[in-house]
Amino acid sequence: MKIVTWNCNGALRKKYLALEKFDADILVVQECEDPAQSSKAYAKWAGDYLWTGESKNKGIGVFSKRGLTLEILDWPDDSLRQFLPCRVNDSVNLLAVWTMQANSPTFQYIGQFWKYLQLNRDRLSDPNTVICGDFNSNVCWDKKNRHWNHCDVVRELEELDIHSMYHGLSGEPQGEETKPTLFMQRKLERPYHIDYAFVSKPLMKNGSIEVGHPEQWLEVSDHMPIVFSLSLPDELRADEARDLLRKTVWDVLPNYEGQYHYDGEDSGTDYTEIAIMELWKKGFSEGDDTRKMVLLLRTIMFHDRMNSEAGNFNYIDEHKSVVEKILKHIS
């Protein structure tokens, strides 16, 4: 699963195309306007999304760009600003973050998140948790004798086995980051690292993270996007998926060949059967193409569903669970 978190510095309706190159599964965007109250083009691009904000012009949006489902989570927030918890594809709890001053005399920015963490510690203990966004915080601003400093939040998250992907993968200590995520007032001489992706440790396995470059992004925002990829515990790696998918295809298709004896001519078989054989002969003989295999398996499953309804033998039954798992994770 590839996720991008980015503070767009407002007017996402004019900037969303800049995110297309990432081909991400999920986009988490701070300071974006509500698609339902903006331009038609922006609303169309937004597709399946969740959004919250105190005005229609600036809030947090979570956008699903590759068919993953989004479900809002009803977590208490005591009017802390600003958080959007959701369930992604019924497998990951994602907390989108944009901390604010919030007119609080004491608990500003990281203090808002610290209080939210106290409210939802049990909910955030889920082993498939992602917390990402603009925290407006860094350990360099910690204060003596304050129990809710940035370092305290990092420590409390680590107690839940939730870790910063950037620091975990780069080996850089908190406060000594070499890749800024913010250039104050878009000035290169004012760099800070204040955007983060915290994830449950098991999700970091085989993961990766990148921070955008100012020469590419300062024109549109003072923040750099953070692009990170993670693997779910039950998710197959790409090479495993291809091998398993190939095995399933070759286990299933001989049954179809034996049943239909397709010889290239229309001998009474329906077009679904012809499509199955054409994909098998012309598609897979030319090499490993996962998308063609997925299309084939979907065709087979549809055809078998029709056969089952007609009372015919269903060849896919013994492979159904593995096929569904493959389709869920790599289609």
pLDDT digits (tens, 9 = 90+) for 169-225: 999 999 999 999 999 999 999 999 999 999 999 899 889 999 999 999 999 999 999
User: Which residue type occupies 242?
Assistant: R
* Residue 5 structure tokens: 């978190």
Q: Would you place residue 68 in the very low, low, confident or very high pLDDT band (cuts 50, 70, 90)?
A: confident
Mean pLDDT of 303-322: 49
Number of H helices, E strands in the chain: 10, 14
The whole-number pLDDT of residue 92 equals: 92
Topology of domain 2-229, CATH: Deoxyribonuclease I; Chain A (3.60.10)
Cite the residue boundaries of each domain of the chain with CATH code 3.60.10.10.
2-229
H helical segments located in 261-289:
271-278
pLDDT at 269 over 50: no
Mean pLDDT of 31-46: 96
pLDDT at 10 over 60: yes
- H or E stretch covering 170: helix 165-170
The whole-number pLDDT of residue 89 equals: 85
Q: Would you place residue 257 in the very low, low, confident or very high pLDDT band (cuts 50, 70, 90)?
A: very low
Cβ burial, residue 289 (10 Å; 0-12/13-18/19+): middle
Nearest CA-CA partner of 325 in 250, 202, 241 = 241
d(CA 86, CA 102) in angstroms, rounded, equals: 22
The whole-number pLDDT of residue 280 equals: 47
- Report pTM: 0.73
Percent of the chain with pLDDT over 90: 63
DSSP classification of residue 225: P
CB 120 within 8 A of CB 83: no
Q: Which of 58-72, 142-156, 220-234, 283-297 has the lowest mean pLDDT?
A: 283-297
CB 90 within 8 A of CB 69: yes
Q: Would you place residue 314 in the very low, low, confident or very high pLDDT band (cuts 50, 70, 90)?
A: very low
Q: Would you place residue 128 in the very low, low, confident or very high pLDDT band (cuts 50, 70, 90)?
A: very high
* Residue 111 structure tokens: 């203090």
What is the tens place of the pLDDT at every residue in 78-123?
999 999 999 998 889 999 999 998 778 788 899 999 999 999 999 9
